[in-house]
Structure 1
Amino acid sequence: AVGGLGVDAEPHAPLPEGVLDAVALPAERARTAALRAAHPHVCWDRLLFSAKESVYKAWFPLTGRFLDFAEADITVEPAGTFAARLLVPGPRVGGAELTAFDGRFLVERGLLLTAVTVPAPGA
C-alpha cells in the first residue's frame, strides 16, 4: 500500500550551468562530484535534481507546503537508489513524523527517472 508518490522524468543530460549550485547543498555537490568521477556515464547532477523533484512531489500533497531544495539532503547510491533526509520537520503519516524519503532511479533510453513512495499508514 502506498500513502504517497513522487515521480519525475528528465532528459539524461547535464544540468545547465549554475543550476547545480542553486539546488544542491555543499555536501550534495561533493557527493555528486565523487559519483561523476567513479561513474562518468551518468549525469549525476541531473539525477540529484530529479530526485529532489520527486521528493517535493511526494511532500507537497502530504503537507500543502513548499519544500525548498536546501530542505532535503539527498544521498544517491549508484545501484539505483537514493535517500532524502528532511532538514525541516516532516509531515505526520500514520501518527509518526516522516523524517526521510527513500527512492529509486533508472537511466534508460535517454531519460532519467526518479520515484519516491511513502508507505501507507499502518503498512
Structure 2
Amino acid sequence: MRDLLPPGVHVAESFGDPPGAVLLPEEEPAVARAVDRRRREYTTVRHLARRALRCLGHGAAALPPGEDRAPRWPTGVVGALTHCDGYRAAAVADATVVASVGIDAEPHEALPEEALGGVALPEEREHLARLDAAHPEFRWDRLLFSAKESVYKAWYPVTGAWLGFEQAVLTFDPAGSFRARVLPEAVVPGGPVVFDGRWCVTRSFVTTAVVVTRPDAAPPAPCGCPAR
C-alpha cells in the first residue's frame, strides 16, 4: 500500500494482528458483541491508524465510528482504513493538503460471478475481458471491485453523498494506474468528476489507492516518520 500513495500521506500496514494492539475506551462499544475475527481486525486497523497519526501529532486519538460507520478522524486529518484476511492498513494526511484518501485491499482471487454482476457495467466487462486476454496473471474483476471501494472512500468525505458501484466507470492501465469517471446522474455540484488511482498486486493481495489533493495546497513534504 505504501508504494501507491504520494508524499504527505502517512501509512502503516501489517500482515497480522500485533499483540500490542489495543482499543481505546471510546472504540470498545462498536465491537462489544463482535466475533473475535471482527474484533481483531477492528483493533489492528485502529492501532495502525494511531501509528500513522503520530506523524501528524495525533498518535493518541480514539477513532470511534460516526453515524455513517466511517471512523471519526481528528480535526484537520483525513484518512482511510482497510482490512482483509492477512492484511490491514491505515492511511492519513493533513486535511489542508489532501481532501480525501481512499484505500482498499482484497485477496487476489476471482470475484464471484454474482458479485461481479453488481459491480461491473457492460463497458467495464468488455474492458476487463480485453485486459484478461492480454494480462491473465491479474484478477481484473477483483481489481475493479477494490478500485471502486477506494473511489467511494475518497468520494464520500468530499461530497457526503452515496456513490453506487454502477455510478462510476473505471478503466485500468496495466502499468499500475486506473481512472474512475463519475456518471452524470451521480455528480454532486462542486464534487470531483474524475478520480485517478493506483493499483498493485503483491503477496497474494490486490491493493488500490486514490488521493484527492487540494488544488491550491503546497506540495507536501515526503513522509519520513517510522510508520511509513
TM-score by length of structure 2 reads 0.50
The alignment of Structure 1 onto Structure 2 pairs a total of residues equal to 119
More strand by share: 1
Give matches, 1:47-62, under 5 Å: 47-62=143-158
Question: Does 2:109 correspond to 1:45?
Answer: no
Unaligned runs of 5+ in 2: 1-96, 218-228
* Higher RCO structure, 1 or 2 (CA under 8 Å, sep 6+): 1
| Structure-2 change in CA distance of 1:114 and 1:52 (3 Å) | same
Which of 72, 84, 101 is matched with 1:5 structurally? 101
Q: CA deviation at 1:44?
A: 0.2
Q: Aligned Cα RMSD in Å?
A: 1.2
TM-score by length of structure 1 reads 0.91
Larger Rg: 2
- Secondary structure at 1:50's aligned position in 2? helix
Which of 92, 107, 117 is matched with 2:201 structurally? 107
Superimposed CA distance per residue, residues 73-101 of structure 1 (whole angstroms, 9 cap, x where no aligned partner) = 00011000000001021452xxxx42100
Identity of matched residues, %: 55
For 2:208 and 2:154, the matched residues in 1 are separated by: 12
**1:89 equivalent in structure 2:** 187
For 2:189 and 2:147, the matched residues in 1 are separated by: 19
Stretches (4+) displaced over 6 A: none
Superimposed CA distance per residue, residues 50-69 of structure 1 (whole angstroms, 9 cap, x where no aligned partner) = 00000000011111211011
Q: CA deviation at 1:34?
A: 0.7
